[in-house]
Amino acid sequence: RPMEIGSKKPVGRFRQVVEVPTVKRRDPRFDSLSGKLDTDLFEKSYSFLKDYQADEMKKLKESIKKARDPETKEKLQRQLSRMLDRQATEASEKRRQEIKREHKRKEKELIAKGKNPFFLKKSDQKKLELIDKFQHLKDNPKALARAMEKRRKRNSAKEKTKVLGAKRRRFN
């Protein structure tokens, strides 16, 4: 049985007696009413931001040249490198999407001809990306040499860790 309380006693502060209609706020980014994200449309709609970014990078470079204080110069340099990294990441992501789009288009053509659909594995996708990357690097021999050197170093480091791991396992 519920406890009986006199009507004259005031209700606790946190106990809701009368339902107050509250306005439910919703974020349009995650709302289903907004529809699906169309990346191409997004790119077109906000393409002016790339111009702003390029302008900002130009100003940053100028301010780096003008800066006398090494601490300020370092800070500006980090900001510029961050922007450049972001730009490179966006470009690589765009290339990756383009490769996927191209593969889908070819597959649709083959399916229309009556072939069975073939979906790329992640490893095959990475191979296609690598091929595309080196196709782009062919135009710039210096960049190609740098990329090959970087790859060589990474592979040798992996090989060293494998060898060390094998030695450690053998001694244990």
Q: How many residues does the chain have?
A: 172
Do 53 and 107 lie in one domain? The reply is yes
22 pLDDT tier (thresholds 50, 70, 90): confident
Q: Smallest Cα–Cα separation from 57: which of 32, 28, 87?
A: 87
> Given 87, 116, 145, which residue is the final one in a domain?
116
What is the structure's pLDDT at 171?
A: 66
Do 112 and 63 lie in one domain? The reply is yes
Do 107 and 53 lie in one domain? The reply is yes
Residue 31 falls inside a structural domain: no
Query: Which residues constitute the domain of residue 146?
Result: 137-172
| pLDDT higher than threshold 90 for residue 2 | no
77 vs 20, more confident: 77
Do 112 and 141 lie in one domain? The reply is no
What residue type is 14 in one-letter code? F
Q: In this structure, are residues 80 and 53 in contact, taking their beta carbons and an 8 Å threshold?
A: no
Residue 39 falls inside a structural domain: no
Highest mean pLDDT of the ranges 56-65, 106-115, 132-141 = 56-65
Phi, psi (rounded to 5 degrees) for 121: -80, 165
Residue 166 falls inside a structural domain: yes
> pLDDT tens digits, residue range 33-57?
888 888 889 889 999 999 999 999 9
Q: How many domains does the chain have?
A: 2
Residue 69 falls inside a structural domain: yes
Residue 109 falls inside a structural domain: yes
